[in-house]
A and B are shown apart, each in its own frame.
Chain A
Amino acid sequence: MHLIQMHLVFRRPPVDVASMAIDSYRFLDYASRQIMTAWAARQKPGVIPFTPLSRPLAACTVALISTAGIARNDDRPFDQEGERRNPWWGDASFREIPLGTTENDVRLYHMHIDPRFGESDLDVVLPMRRLTELSREGFVGRPAPTHYSLMGYILDPTELVEKTAPAVADRLRAERVDAAALVPA
């Protein structure tokens, strides 16, 4: 659902005046803008869950969750062949990325982004080293021992919501993670 980098050629219309300061569609081409706007308009958020931070940030264990489709070289890649067979499908599984993993240990399996930025510096998409630095500064408590990656091109979120996210939540709780930052791609 996240990123559909459409490369179809459309005549660019006059720029919409965004109500918010950030233009969410600034880096998207016209077709992708139209699709994203339509998807946004159909969302029905209902009651939004809220878990107050259980302790000061400086005492929290923090995990990162990236949607860049990161998999370790000794782990199973995200299934790109399945998406080639059925372009409406995306691999909704997740991968564990242990703290200390670097760009030398991973590939990005996400066909809707340019993977080269994250593969040259993993902190561009999964900032584990930056998190460790913030922990040394005392800004956060400590980085979790394990971080996670999903692959962001998921048009039908059923499996993601019913299986993948609860499985990640279980693992976060097992490692006593207090807070998580989700990082797009």
Chain B
Amino acid sequence: MGLVQRVLEASGISTVALSMIPDLTRAVGVPRLAGISYPFGRPLGSPHDADSQRAVLRATLEVLASASEPDTDVELPFQWPESPAKARNASKDVVRPPIVELLKMKPWLLANLYSGRIPLVEGQTA
């Protein structure tokens, strides 16, 4: 996401990233970053909680207005009401992604994922 943001910014559009993994987004190097400690799949908040969603969006867009230089990094003060375990538990019946199934069968390939050595397969853009 940060890489896309850089391309847009370089093409003349002012951008801000909301990020649930601000460490990673910050490492990529982005013009404006709003970090939030919310669980994956719910970056703006809970479904049908319009007031909280609007507060997160407003705070994110405020970074657009306030930033005067690149690498502006803001931590949004919102607190998720559940523990991480409970937040994850809500999605425990979701089918596991293919990479997880592959790594269960071939755990040594975890080293590739860790090191970023992504195997290419003939005929596919990876």
Contact = CB atoms under 8 A, between A and B. Distances in A.
Interface residues of B, number: 90
Given A46-B29, A127-B57, A7 B100 contact: yes
A112 interface: yes
B57 A134 contact: yes
Nearest to B94: A114
Contacts of B81: none
Interface in A104-133: 111-118, 120-121, 123-125, 127, 129-131, 133
* Central interface residue in B27, B87, B95, B116, by most chain A CB within 10 Å: B27
A152 B1 contact: yes
Contacts of A131: 57
Contacts of A159: 125
Interface string A73-92: 00000000011111111001
* Chain B interface main SS type: mixed
Give the most central of A36, A127, A150: most B CB within 10 Å. Answer: A127
Interface in B52-107: 53-54, 56-58, 60-62, 64-65, 68-71, 75, 80, 84, 87-88, 90-91, 94-104, 107
Interface of A: 1-8, 20-29, 31, 34-43, 45-46, 48-54, 56-57, 60, 62, 65, 67-68, 82-89, 92, 111-118, 120-121, 123-125, 127, 129-131, 133-134, 139-140, 150, 152-153, 155-161, 164-166, 168-170, 172-173, 177-185
Interface of B: 1, 3-24, 26-31, 35-48, 50, 53-54, 56-58, 60-62, 64-65, 68-71, 75, 80, 84, 87-88, 90-91, 94-104, 107, 110, 112-116, 118-121, 124-126
